[in-house]
Amino acid sequence: MAAIVRTDRELEVPRVDAALRAAGHALTLLPDGVSEARLMRALRDADLLLMCYTPVTARVIESAPRLQGIVKYGVGVDAIDIDAAMARGIPVVNVPEYAEETVAEGAMALMLALAKKQRPIQCAMDEQGWVWPTALWMGIDLAGKTVGVVGVGRIGSKVARMAGLGFRMRVLGFDPHADAARFAQARVERRTELHTLLAESDFVSVHCVLNAATRGLIGARELAVMKASAFLVNVSRGAIVDEAALLRALREKRIAGAALDVYAQEPLAKDEHPLSALYAMKNVIVFPHLTFYTVEAMQRLEEETLERCFEILERRPTLVKSHDPRLRAQQQGVRFAD
């Protein structure tokens, strides 16, 4: 019997929990926001850690002498000190493919909602019961507009397909890690300078991973080159955008609006949060990091999470499907998908 800790219990994965317990393992569930000290105590005798959002620091890893693996039941691994795990020979694995189409659909849904003024119209309907077709409520079409995709990877390329083929938008892309062949395959016009893409775009959709190079990638200078009529959509990671600069740009009406599913500090809150002012802005859609959350995506997530868990528990090399160089640098306890 293994001792397993799963953090972020608010994200329900009942099939994972039931299967691990049915296999005879002892499972401890910890809440979102658990302190480092409490996590360290829980991991003192643990063989496996499952996490989604909770930071897994070097101190946490060093405090777990029996730990055999870390499974991120999700995509981003920026909350895990992977170097510390590698130093201990502890494999780290994520589930990168379960929600690619799902999150791309979510980005398009947010883009549509901004274009059609869904939030302010719904607020007016709730307050007044009806609105008439005056200029205040006039939306725009996506067809014929330009969308700039920042990060033409798994999700960004799918947004490009939906926007281009589905909505007849012009699609530009910026990704210093993608070659010309990937842009051609995704039917995306390549831009080698981020500012060029931002200046041309009516919608900017963020789809890159968070790392040292992308933290604050879209800051005050980048927001300043966007059109005053343009919208920003971020379903990737909050810290890719300088959120203080974004808040200023929205207050000063230097861009038309934004739709955000992710925030550097989560959860978002109506009070005492750096972005609390967003709630009062009718040209901003705040979504609670749920563009990934559909029946189909969660089924895929649970199935693959269990596969990775049992590989680690059975002392088999665990499959790394991600092409993130931080995960690809591992040399112990892993095998790589092509």
pLDDT tens track for 68-102 = 999 999 999 999 999 999 999 999 999 999 999 99
In the three-class reduction of DSSP (H, G, I as helix; E, B as strand; rest coil), residue 45 is classed as coil
User: How many whole angstroms separate alpha carbon 25 and alpha carbon 188?
Assistant: 48
Mean pLDDT over each residue of the chain, to the nearest integer: 97
Helix axes 100-115, 118-128, angle to 10 degrees: 60
- Looking at the structure, tell me whether residues 87 and 159 fall in a common domain: no
- Looking at the structure, tell me whether residues 116 and 51 fall in a common domain: no
Write out pLDDT tens, residues 25-62.
999 999 999 999 999 999 999 999 999 999 999 999 99
Which residue type sits at 289?
H
**Tokens found for residue 30:** 């910890």
- Looking at the structure, tell me whether residues 325 and 282 fall in a common domain: no
- Looking at the structure, tell me whether residues 143 and 33 fall in a common domain: no
With a CB cutoff of 8 Å and minimum separation 6, the contacts of 132 are: none
Write out pLDDT tens, residues 136-182.
999 999 999 999 999 999 999 999 999 999 999 999 999 999 999 99
- Rg of the chain over CA atoms, in angstroms? 21
- Looking at the structure, tell me whether residues 167 and 211 fall in a common domain: yes
Given 6, 191, 237, 308, which residue is catalytic? 237
Buried b / exposed e along 286-321 (16+ C-beta atoms within 10 A)? bbebebbebeebbebbbebbbebbebbbeeeebebb
The yes-or-no answer on residue 21 being catalytic is no
Q: How much is the average pLDDT of 14-23? A: 98
pLDDT given for residue 338 in this prediction? 81
Beta bridge partners of 174: 150
The yes-or-no answer on residue 296 being catalytic is no
Report the CATH number at residue 63: 3.40.50.720
DSSP annotation of 18? H
The whole model's pTM is what?
Answer: 0.92
Distance of CA 226 to the CA centre of its chain: 23
Tell me which residue range forms the domain holding 309: 3-98+295-336
Residue 275 contacts residue 243 (beta carbons within 8 Å): yes
Given 289, 304, 308, 311, which residue is catalytic? 289
- Looking at the structure, tell me whether residues 118 and 205 fall in a common domain: yes
24 closest CA partner among 8, 4, 45, 41: 4
The yes-or-no answer on residue 154 being catalytic is no
- Looking at the structure, tell me whether residues 70 and 207 fall in a common domain: no
- Looking at the structure, tell me whether residues 120 and 81 fall in a common domain: no
- Looking at the structure, tell me whether residues 139 and 260 fall in a common domain: yes
Given 266, 300, 303, 307, which residue is catalytic? 266
Which residue type sits at 62?
E
User: How many whole angstroms separate alpha carbon 182 and alpha carbon 180?
Assistant: 5
- Looking at the structure, tell me whether residues 281 and 139 fall in a common domain: yes
Residue 232, pLDDT above cutoff 90: yes
- Looking at the structure, tell me whether residues 265 and 280 fall in a common domain: yes
pLDDT given for residue 216 in this prediction? 98
- Looking at the structure, tell me whether residues 300 and 316 fall in a common domain: yes
